[in-house]
Chains A and B, each alone.
Chain A
Amino acid sequence: MTDTDEPAPAGTGQEAAPLLEVRDLRVEFRTRDGIAKAVNGVSYRVAAGQTLAVLGESGSGKSVTAQAVMGILDSPPGFVTGGEVLFQGRDLLTLGREERRKVRGAKMAMIFQDALSSLNPVLSVGAQLGEMFQVHEGMSRKEARGRSVELMERVGIPAARARVGDYPHQFSGGMRQRIMIAMALALAPDLIIADEPTTALDVTVQAQVMDLLAELQREYRMGLILITHDLGVVADVADTIAVMYAGRIVETAPVHQLYKAPAHPYTRGLLESIPRLDHKGQELYAIKGLPPNLTAIPPGCPFNPRCPLARDICVTDRPPLYDVGPGRASACHFWKETLDGAR
């Protein structure tokens, strides 16, 4: 079995073509210290109205994958070296710059973690929102301003009409994130990629913003790719999860199954290492060691140096994504043992 014919994540609408299908995507960064293999054959699918959470720690390749999908990879040093990004049936990687630009924004949009550095500090939020309508839909400035106010109201910014001329720094963190969501929504895209959209926010504000995002997604039946490291946020909103490690998907599953019985030792390690809100607990389980350096990924299973189940085969043979159940896959030679709770 290869990475490309992995089982489709559950709930992605088998009958219809998926909204987005990433096939065997590969990205590398050519740096002074060597070639960092950031994404090494990632495949996933998202259907309209579905939420796919891509979970991983820093350096796992979760954001780089999204940047390659959006076509906003810093290049150089980053290069897409293989794979396909099929969006509504078209391979985006073969499109020219101009065509790609038309898809971006109108059909797919991205929400970033840090709203303050993603918004232009010297333009009012109204001007930034309105620009989208002027450029993509040819509206007049006045029409665009009207639409901007509507959008700001839709994402819950109080006194939108009075604040449309304000600058990003005049808004709080939560309100800025709402403005980013408004910008992403402006042209009614079919797909939204949200990269750690609430990580910089306080917990009470985070709850508001995630609720807003989920509500808008339902309303517009958008596909949502949520990139995060937070197992709590994922449990709250995702339909399916893809867990990434060292540039690969190591496990994919419907959300309930993944939390109930992880099929990859890395996923289980993550779940066990988070402190709980509902009880104090004993010493935390800690995955030993560190994530690998992407210029020197260990042979065999990249997780083997940190894995409690690792045996000889894990050092020599790279595990494919095994089909481990309906809509589930795990890249572990010992997925059966892991599912059964082996340590």
Chain B
Amino acid sequence: MAPDDRPDGTPGVLADPGRPALGEPVLEIRDLVKHYPLTRGVLFKKQIGAVKAVDGVSFDLRKGETLGIVGESGCGKSTLAKMLVGLERPTSGQIRYQGQDIATLSGRALKAVRRNIQMVFQDPYTSLNPRMTVGDIIGEPYEIHPEAAPKGDRRKKVQDLLDVVGLNPEYINRYPHQFSGGQRQRIGIARGLALRPEIIVADEPVSALDVSVQAQVVNLLEALQDEFDLSYVFIAHDLSVVRHISDRVAVMYLGRLAETGTDEQIYEHPTHPYTQALLSAVPVPDPEAREHRERILLTGDVPSPADPPSGCRFRTRCWKAQPLCAEVVPPLEVPEAFREEGPARHPSACHFAEERHVVPGE
């Protein structure tokens, strides 16, 4: 394990030897919470509860790295993404960028920060205005942040961006419907790059795309990261894509992080039962694995975030659950059993963490 591990057990930047040493944290998330109130009544609204979409999430994003966030629908990963780019205000907690808590900023200060944190959306069909030309779509960030590009330069800049994402710069006057899904996603990426941000939050950026086109867009995102020194928060439900693109991975379940670590730690040495179940359920494109794979089938559905289980949120579907799990919330830290040097030594929010290899192959 790397010598620069943090006291809270988060693996340090040296933990992944495959990459050059990554820089300082560019984004520090602390105890982030987003509750959506549930109300009753029309005239006199009374709060009767809250949907706890995100309920205490902490992590760091470091310069130049890709942090993958995986989880199933309803786990809060998209709400988290929206808070990171300032589209939603957290109920509590901090999002620190360059030492400032962006959750408390407003007006001009918030606008300045937002320039550096851009978002790429999932659906290339609905996230582009059908009545705007590609040039207007990609250039729109310059209308909001005119200081980023003087008016005369904009057309040239937009054409450069089209070139960067692999589209013909002459397409600048075309409309979104004249492009395929993969090309539209490239347009969305070009828009995200327009202001030369430091951080890009990508929420399921390739899940709407066909396999052959998905590979093109993943490769593009990786090339752009190197070219522009970007840090990515890459949110997806496809565990294979996340492994491919991420330096570190966080597994999210019902508003909280269950396990965090390098791709190697999470995929080869998972210690949280949810991660293990999730990995074991992924269909692997190898018919030989059919016979000798061990699949952990979870029973039931994810509980409602309006009424999450006490203690460990996963306990209602966990085959290891004990009375303790209902009483005490397991903290996200390196479990007692894995304090020794080794790949299982990474934060896992389980009272009964055990290493189990579940990914077939290798």
Contacts and interface: CB of A to CB of B under 8 A. Distances in A.
A256 interface: yes
Contacts of B72: 202-205
Interface stretch (A37-45, A74-82, A230-238, A332-340): A230-238
A256 B284 contact: no
A279 interface: yes
Given A273-B214, A280-B263, A207 B244 contact: no
A270 interface: yes
A285 B216 CA distance: 8
Contacts of B218: 275, 284
Interface stretch (A15-23, A172-180, A184-192): A172-180
Provide the main secondary structure of the chain B interface: helix
Interface in A192-222: 202-208, 210-211
Contact of A232 (B183, B215, B285, B362): B285
A312 interface: no
Contact of A175 (B213, B282, B286, B301): B301
B7 interface: no
Contact of B285 (A175, A271, A291): A271
Contact of A285 (B180, B215, B240, B297): B215
Given A233-B283, A280-B263, A284-B215, A204 B278 contact: yes
A97 interface: no
Contact of A204 (B183, B277, B362): B277
- Chain A interface size band reads 35 or more
A283 interface: yes
A274 to B, nearest CB: 6
B219 A284 contact: yes
Nearest to A173: B73
Nearest to B285: A231
Interface in B182-221: 182-183, 210-216, 218-219
Given A202-B73, A277-B282, A284-B218, A290 B240 contact: no
A203 to B, nearest CB: 5
B224 interface: no
B281 A280 contact: no
Contact of A235 (B212, B285, B362): B285
B309 interface: no
Interface string A148-192: 000000000010000000000000111100000000000000000
Given A231-B211, A290-B180, A290-B213, A277 B287 contact: no
Contacts of B215: 273-275, 284-287
Contacts of A232: 282-285
B281 A206 contact: yes
Contacts of A70: none
Nearest to A156: B299
B290 interface: yes
Given A203-B281, A235-B285, A256-B287, A280 B212 contact: no
A232 to B, nearest CB: 3
Contacts of B213: 57, 290
Contacts of A276: 240, 243-244, 361
Given A203-B281, A259-B286, A278 B361 contact: yes
Contacts of B219: 283-284, 286
Given A284-B219, A286-B215, A277 B210 contact: no
A211 B244 contact: no
Contacts of A230: 283
Contacts of A57: 210-213
A277 B361 contact: yes
A248 B225 CA distance: 38
Contacts of A118: none
- Give the one of B212, B281, B300, B359 with max A CB within 10 A: B212
A277 B240 CA distance: 4
Contact of A255 (B73, B287, B298): B287
A204 B211 contact: no
A216 B81 CA distance: 40
Contacts of A158: 300
A140 to B, nearest CB: 33
Given A235-B286, A235-B289, A204 B281 contact: yes
Nearest to B206: A275
Given A255-B287, A269-B212, A277-B243, A207 B295 contact: yes
A283 B222 CA distance: 9
B267 interface: yes
B336 interface: no
21 contacts: A57-B210, A58-B181, A172-B301, A203-B237, A206-B281, A207-B283, A207-B295, A236-B290, A259-B285, A259-B287, A275-B241, A275-B245, A277-B279, A277-B284, A280-B263, A284-B215, A284-B218, A284-B219, A286-B212, A286-B219, A290-B182
Given A210-B283, A277-B267, 5 more contacts: A203-B72, A273-B214, A276-B240, A278-B284, A280-B244
In order of increasing CB-CB distance, the 8 nearest A-B pairs are: A232-B283, A278-B361, A275-B244, A202-B72, A273-B215, A57-B210, A286-B215, A207-B281
Interface of A: 57-58, 158, 172-175, 202-208, 210-211, 229-236, 238, 255-256, 259, 269-271, 273-281, 283-288, 290-291
